[in-house]
């Protein structure tokens, strides 16, 4: 009997959905059948409101509401505690339903990954016998429930209810540990490589993220065992966070990786060569080029580095042109894949300016930019852009010094965000060795007023839709974000419960089924806005 009534109701609902110009007539046609289906669709634990006694009412009440929207419930709970619960579903004029549209609150009992132990299916209309407000009793278990509206064309009305263990809010951090595996020698060191496996568990809200850091570096997401093959003493730290936001204490494992015995214990061979036009004194006129060559017959060359005139070592990727006149020293070294590093080599040479050439120093200037207050102070940060030109031999180097510090190379505009008075000195040298007089800028940076305004973020979904507003074949989601305070820091998204990822371009989704896209935007002051978009994709050519 229930199946017959249900079939009749769904058939009537399809007709009502097609006849969108007369919703009130469709609701009137269903008024007789809806109460019978309601009584038969709710599970044994759910009862009509008239039959609920005070003794039967659950301690927690979960309320859903609906209005004229066919794409989302007006309001819905996101979490609950395991155990008895009173479910309230209201779809009435009081909740914003002015068209008489019928909605259902149906718990999914078939999609993998969700709890299937509550068979709730409440149908509500502003014109039904209860005025669109229905109450049922259920018993929830820990996990996640998916709910949706089964009215044709309302497929985007869907959401998730996360149920945690009873006993109150989850304040217990996850348990996290790590194991190191690999071939070990007699000293317990790992030969060639060590693999670190991190395990985390949480008996309440569940594990949300697991992270690790190698040798004091930044934490990164842990998704698979970490292989560490660089020779030497190593430390892997790790932590886990649950869905309630509790983060474990940081754990760590320490171990040593050694090169395989009898394999590569020989350092690479590295040499340097200087080329260029030379004068009678052997000096290089205008510029000298230093080429570094390294080889290794064992594990192979891993890195090559160089240092000019005692500066910190940097990666060597191409021949080095040195044009600043004067005595110069380039040192270099190489490391192989087994961790063996060569002795430091060096070449010394002198660069001379071309005869009868350039004796005029470069022209150099600087400009400040940034938001200023009424006193002319820069709010939050000031940016210094240095401009230089040379009509003779050409610019060789541009340098600056901040607040009396050592001169460093100027590669791009300098941002100064530390509050206080600042002095920036700058100079330039051309290829003939002429250096400009030192010029100076003085300015003050003040801290901005605290930003407590959330960024604005929204999602737009585009694609071909069928008569039920489902997207056919695929849908494209575009996120838009802005911030009038400290400025946007990042925009992220999560599709169907996956970890959040950086949003860089519109997202194309072509997997058939119901989808939930969560998104969020953060400003530079740490304020975050979140949102959710739900949509349904059906296969092209499907009904």
State the DSSP code for 344.
P
Please tell me the predicted confidence (pLDDT) of residue 357: 66
Identify the CATH class of 2-164: mainly beta
Closest CA to 237 of 257, 224, 220, 223: 220
Please tell me the predicted confidence (pLDDT) of residue 187: 86
CATH number of 456-538: 2.60.40.10
pLDDT digits 0-9 by tens, 175-219: 999 999 998 888 888 888 899 999 999 887 889 999 999 999 999
Strand-pair partners of 211: 221, 239
345-352 and 284-285 beta bridge pairing: parallel
Long-range contacts of 459-462 (CB under 8 A, 24+ apart): 459/517, 459/519, 459/531, 459/533, 461/533, 461/535
What band does 355 get if pLDDT is binned at 50, 70 and 90?
low
User: What is the chain's length?
Assistant: 543
Please tell me the predicted confidence (pLDDT) of residue 360: 84
pLDDT digits 0-9 by tens, 137-173: 999 998 999 999 999 999 899 999 998 876 557 788 9
Q: Is the dihedral of CA 103, 139, 499, 244 positive or negative?
A: positive
Please state the CATH superfamily assignment of the domain spanning residues 175-258 in this structure. Answer: Immunoglobulins (2.60.40.10)
395-405: average pLDDT: 93
**Cα within 13 Å of Cα(542), Cβ side:** 14
Q: Among the listed ranges 168-177, 189-198, 264-273, 283-292, which one has the minimum average pLDDT value? A: 168-177
Q: In what side-by-side order are the strands of the sheet with 121-124?
A: 79-81, 158-164, 143-148, 103-107, 121-124
Please tell me the predicted confidence (pLDDT) of residue 39: 39
Asked whether residue 432 carries a pLDDT value surpassing 80, the answer given is no
291-299: average pLDDT: 86
List alpha helices for 479-527, DSSP H: none
pLDDT digits 0-9 by tens, 101-136: 999 999 999 999 899 999 999 999 999 999 999 999
Report helix, strand or coil for 304: strand
Please state the CATH superfamily assignment of the domain spanning residues 269-352 in this structure. Answer: Immunoglobulins (2.60.40.10)
Please tell me the predicted confidence (pLDDT) of residue 452: 83
Please tell me the predicted confidence (pLDDT) of residue 181: 94
Q: What are 105's two structure tokens?
A: 């609150």
- State the CB neighbour count (10 A cutoff) for residue 500: 14
Same-fold call for 2-164 versus 363-446: yes
Domain-wise residue ranges, the chain: 2-164, 175-258, 269-352, 363-446, 456-538
Mean pLDDT of the chain: 85
Instruction: Give percent of the chain above pLDDT 70.
Output: 87
| pTM beyond 0.75 | no
Strand-pair partners of 508: 476
Return the CA Rg of the chain.
35
pLDDT digits 0-9 by tens, 5-54: 444 444 444 444 444 444 444 444 443 344 434 434 443 334 433 334 33
pLDDT digits 0-9 by tens, 324-340: 888 899 999 999 878 88
Closest CA to 45 of 102, 100, 91, 87: 87
533-537: average pLDDT: 95
Please tell me the predicted confidence (pLDDT) of residue 524: 80
Helical (H) or strand (E) element with 39: helix 33-41
C-alpha to C-alpha distance for 439 and 425, rounded to whole angstroms = 6
Please tell me the predicted confidence (pLDDT) of residue 41: 40
Using the structure block, give the residue that is written with the tokens 């965000």. Answer: 417
CATH number of 363-446: 2.60.40.10
Residue 350 to residues 305, 306, 320, 354: CA-CA distances in angstroms?
Answer: 21, 18, 14, 13
pLDDT digits 0-9 by tens, 81-95: 888 999 999 999 999
E strands present in 205-260: 207-214, 220-221, 226-228, 232-242, 251-258
C-alpha to C-alpha distance for 473 and 352, rounded to whole angstroms = 69
């Amino acid at each position: 009997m229930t199946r017959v009534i249900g079939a009749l109701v769904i058939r009537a609902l399809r007709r009502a959905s097609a006849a969108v110009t007369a919703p009130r007539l469709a609701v009137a046609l269903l008024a007789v059948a809806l109460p019978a289906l309601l009584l038969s669709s709710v599970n044994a634990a759910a009862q009509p409101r008239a039959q609920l006694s005070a003794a039967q009412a659950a301690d927690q009440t979960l309320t859903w509401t609906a209005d004229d929207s066919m794409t989302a419930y007006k309001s819905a709970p996101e979490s609950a505690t395991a155990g008895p619960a009173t479910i309230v579903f209201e779809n009435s004029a009081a909740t914003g339903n002015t068209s008489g549209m019928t909605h259902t609150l149906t718990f999914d009992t078939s999609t993998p990954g969700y709890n299937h132990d509550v068979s709730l299916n409440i149908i509500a209309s502003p014109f039904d016998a209860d005025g669109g407000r229905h109450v049922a009793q259920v018993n929830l278990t820990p996990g996640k429930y998916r709910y949706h509206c089964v009215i044709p064309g309302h497929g985007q009305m869907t959401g998730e209810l996360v149920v945690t263990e009873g006993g109150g809010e989850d304040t217990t951090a996850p348990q996290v540990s790590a194991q190191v595996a690999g071939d070990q020698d007699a000293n317990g060191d790992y030969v060639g490589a060590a693999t670190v496996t991190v395990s985390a568990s949480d008996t309440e809200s569940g594990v949300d993220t697991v992270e690790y850091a190698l040798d004091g570096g930044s934490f990164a997401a842990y998704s698979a065992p970490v292989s560490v093959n660089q020779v030497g003493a190593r430390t892997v730290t790790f932590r886990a966070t649950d869905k309630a936001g509790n983060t474990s204490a940081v754990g760590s494992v320490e171990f040593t990786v050694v090169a395989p015995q009898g394999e590569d214990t020989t350092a690479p061979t590295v040499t340097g060569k200087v080329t260029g036009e030379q004068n009678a004194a052997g000096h290089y006129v205008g510029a000298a080029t230093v080429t570094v060559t390294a080889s290794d017959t064992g594990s192979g060359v891993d890195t090559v580095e160089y240092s000019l005139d005692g500066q910190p070592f940097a990666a060597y990727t191409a021949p080095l042109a040195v044009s600043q006149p004067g005595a110069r020293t380039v040192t270099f070294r190489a490391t192989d894949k087994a961790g063996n590093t060569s002795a430091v080599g060096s070449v010394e040479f002198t660069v001379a300016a071309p005869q009868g050439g350039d004796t005029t120093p470069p022209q150099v200037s600087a400009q400040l930019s940034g938001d200023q207050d009424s006193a002319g102070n820069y709010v939050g940060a000031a940016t210094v852009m240095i401009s230089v030109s040379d009509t003779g031999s050409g610019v060789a180097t541009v340098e600056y010094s901040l607040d009396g510090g050592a001169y460093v190379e100027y590669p791009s505009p300098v941002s100064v965000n530390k509050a206080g008075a600042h002095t920036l000195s700058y100079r330039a040298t051309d290829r003939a060795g002429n250096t400009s007089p030192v010029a100076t800028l003085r300015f003050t940076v003040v801290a901005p007023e605290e930003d407590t305004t959330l960024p604005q973020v929204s999602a737009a979904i585009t694609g071909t839709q069928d008569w039920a507003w489902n997207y056919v074949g695929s849908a494209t989601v575009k996120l838009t974000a802005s911030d009038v305070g400290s400025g946007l820091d990042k925009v992220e998204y999560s599709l169907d419960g996956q970890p959040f990822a950086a949003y860089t371009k519109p997202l194309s989704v072509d997997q058939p089924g119901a989808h939930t896209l969560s998104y969020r935007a953060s400003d530079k002051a740490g304020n975050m806005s979140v949102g959710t978009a739900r949509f349904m994709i059906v296969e092209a050519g499907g009904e």
